[in-house]
Amino acid sequence: MAPMQLQDILYSQGFGTRRICAGLIQQGHVQVDLGAGLVDCDDPLEEVDAHEGRMYSVQGVRWPYHAKAYVLLHKPAGYECSHKPSSWPSLYTLLPPALRQRPQKSAVQGVQAVGRLDQDTTGMLVLTDDGPLIHRMSSPRHHVPKVYEVTTDDPLDAKQVQRLLDGVVLDDSPKPVRAAACEAVAEYHLRLTLTEGKYHQVKRMLAAVGNKVVGLHRSQIGEMPLPEDLQPGQWRWITDEEMKRLTGK
């Protein structure tokens, strides 16, 4: 990576306009790990190699440099997947301001969720500012599997499971919508794998076979399960190995 001015690096990471970033640097609020630990830097125009993962400290907050942000979030219930929610808090309030303010070429700033979850649905979300990745993982053409743990209102039976595998007709789809995999784990617990994401799809599919969803949790995307140590409301950076498991590449 070619050297960048320090104020440009902070700007790219979402710490504010270049003017704000320059002020943070001049006021002594920025440190950079140049190879032997964090050191004070007070020149906004100082050029630093923008190495992936290089550690910075901004107002006491340690921050690794990433040209593109890829994070996991364990979504709790009661949050909307929207920057402008209508009835519930935005899940983006669970993220630090820098992730919400990362500059983008479009009018929308910050990381975006790869596929939405309803406010009452919990589980795994990927958020990124990588537009092509969002398109690739969201498009049904690429068949990225997403696994859901479904709690049902009525007991499950083999006929319902088979109908979900064979396909059910939804009111906005002329073709039957099929589960890629479907397993009754327990009497009221269904594990359902989908490769596309329609509006309220799981709830509508269960309604189509005569049952009702009373609890919904996304437990896996691609070959990457939700980490057990990531608690509801917590987020963390995605590792390179996890990215391969998410995308299959």
Cα separation, 18 vs 5, in Å, equals 10
195 Cβ partners below 8 Å, 6+ apart?
A: 140, 143, 144, 145, 146, 180
DSSP 130: -
Strand 61-64 and strand 38-40: pairing? unpaired
Q: Using N-to-C axis directions, what is the helix angle for 131-138 and 240-247, rounded to 10°?
A: 40
Look at residue 180 and give its three-state secondary structure: coil
Catalytic residue chosen out of the listed positions 33, 40, 43, 118: 118
Beta carbons of 98 and 63 less than 8 angstroms apart: yes
**Residue 8 structure tokens:** 């440009």
Active-site residue, 130 included: no
Is residue 110 left, alpha or beta, with left meaning phi > 0 and alpha meaning psi from -120 to 50?
A: left
Residue 32 sits at the vertex; the CA angle it makes with 26 and 35, to the nearest 5 degrees, is: 145
AA letter at 54: R
Cα separation, 15 vs 53, in Å, equals 16
Positions marked active-site: 118
